[in-house]
Amino acid sequence: MKLPGAKIVLECIKREGVDIIFGLPGGAVLPIYDALYDFEGLRHILVRQEAAAGHAAEGYARATGKVGVCLVTSGPACTNLVTALQDAMMDSIPIVAFTGQVPTHLIGNDAFQEADNVGITRSATKHNFLVKDGKDLGPIIREAFHIAATGRPGPVHVDLPKDILVKEAELIWPEKVTMRSYNPNYEGHAGQIKRAAKAMLRAKKPVLYVGGGVISSNAHAELRELAELTQIPVTTTLMGLGAFPSEHPLSIEMLGMHGTYYANMAVHHSDVLVAVGARFDDRVTGRVDAFAPHAEIIHIDIDPSSISKNIKVDVPIVGDCRRVLRALVEAVREEAKAGGDGQEGQKPWHAQIAEWKVKEPLRYEWSDDVIKPQYVIQEISNATRGEAMIVTGVGQHQMWAAQYYKFTHPRAWFTSGGLGTMGYGLPTAMGVQAAHPGRHVVNIDGDGSFAMNSQELATCFVEKLPVKTVIINNSGHGMVRQWQRIIYKERYCAIDLPGIPDWVKLAEAYGCVGLRVTKPSEVVPAIEKMLSTPAPVVLDVCVDKDECVFPMVPAGGANTDMILAPPTREVRDRAEKSQTGF
């Protein structure tokens, strides 16, 4: 069957099970948009800037577990998209990005809107393709989706010259993808799994350190079974939030630069550390020579290049998290039958962790006069009962959301972890909302981060995506201000955003609902109104601009070098009473 290349592209995308494409048209991809005019089975969501198409595809992919798809034109459209591709690369998000390209005979001639898309995106993608013949469209698109979704997931880029989209070609659709040079290993080594099981059972101070790979592989049930079977405390990375319930008795919440005191102390003093689907990035480890210095380290990951890359491990296990955890549960059961379950020896460890939790909980000083950002997150968590889909931008608000929102399920937390992309929140929330139209999707953003893609409010309105955005508005780039305050001796430079624009008026200009609160007493009613409004909403929350994120590990420090929150009034009063005897 011969079809124009543009129709082959759409037919292949549809056969991959795609139902939504995020994109923005331009000259080089107009043949695809013309074919899309009367093509059935695909919804197209028109974004206002190309990076937003990539982030929306990320949100869709993370929310569904399927491959997200974006489509943009040539030249500047592709260069705009690069940030989203690198973001997906760092956080292992499966998307396929289609870009337009000048006709093949003009490639290399500096034609209008020409860029070396393949060269530009090579380091920002898991793989990329330049289609040179229409008959290769089907096999290339098939391979692109296969590569994006398998092994360690990631973005794949397909560059489409305009003449390839216009000419007719045979639609070739391979039923099976076979690539000699690409064969991810899914089954962990049985002997290594047995070693891991033995180490876990003999440990006196074990910790499970869980990353986003557990969510990517849908291994949350197996993780919980292993944790409850062994009674090992669980800490998660920023990307791993939701893989294990925040309020489970074994949860010690997030570790790392802005992790909890008790998670960082537990990892530091552990004797066996089991890393599952995590890559020991610098925000987690702090100074590497001081990270878990006494622990035997077990590392489970599908990407062999991640193992012993940053931290040398003792028991490497290459494989899919879900399959390996399932095998590890069985291995633990078998070893426990032979030599005891090891839980009795862990009682002092659990007592120590409980003591750390009491000594240094997450805390902030309440005020009747000014809104504390942590309080806003807590009330969003309470109002949604931990059931909302939470998206963030990047900055202080991101860390407060990670600390104070209580997650109960996986695929409910969407943030830019590895790249730290400001402006990520709103477009990603659009992709999440498109995937789950009946769910509450709340974008917790900062005034600095939200400004970078606020134009996508137009997309939310036109496409009927009722995303709720809560701006934690501290009138500036808060995380930079925090660093300048603590590290650079209050030499504040280039951080102020003095109330421009008026977010309520901007929301209304885009057809959305705008709300603003300035007092603590207004927060809960405003959240309730926001959640009950069947339209896109922007809630501007004017918070204490001097509030900092604690704990905080300074750059170059060990995780035990945490700067902790000052004692609250309640703690100070309790200490004073204990000293005076009253």
Catalytic residues: 50, 112-113, 162, 479
Nearest-angstrom CA–CA distance, 337 and 326: 17
Nearest-angstrom CA–CA distance, 450 and 414: 15
Rounded to the nearest 5 percent, the helix, strand and coil shares of the chain are 45, 15, 40
Contact by Cβ (8 Å): 292, 314: no
Nearest-angstrom CA–CA distance, 522 and 230: 45
- Stated as kind and residue range, the H or E segment containing 43 is strand 43-46
Nearest-angstrom CA–CA distance, 363 and 125: 40
Chain centroid offset of residue 487 CA: 27
Q: Which residues pair with 127 in a beta bridge?
A: 156
Name the residue with tokens 């909403």.
537
Nearest-angstrom CA–CA distance, 98 and 158: 5
Nearest-angstrom CA–CA distance, 61 and 58: 5
Provide the pairing of β-strand 168-170 with 2-4: antiparallel
Contact by Cβ (8 Å): 80, 51: yes
Nearest-angstrom CA–CA distance, 300 and 392: 28
Contact by Cβ (8 Å): 98, 56: no
Spatial strand order in the sheet of 251-254: 251-254, 234-236, 206-210, 272-276, 296-301, 315-318
Per-position DSSP letters for 189-227, written without gaps between them: PHHHHHHHHHHHHH-SSEEEEE-THHHHTT-HHHHHHHH
Nearest-angstrom CA–CA distance, 215 and 209: 13
Using alpha carbons only, give the angle 112, 115, 121 rounded to the nearest 5 degrees: 155
Among 540, 510, 545, 506, residue whose Cα is nearest residue 522: 540
Provide the pairing of β-strand 234-236 with 251-254: parallel
Nearest-angstrom CA–CA distance, 129 and 159: 6
In sequence order, what are the residues at sequence separation of 6 or more whose Cβ sits closer than 8 angstroms to the Cβ of residue 137? Answer: 5, 8, 9, 12, 131, 164, 169, 171, 172
Chain centroid offset of residue 503 CA: 26
| SS3 state of residue 98 | strand
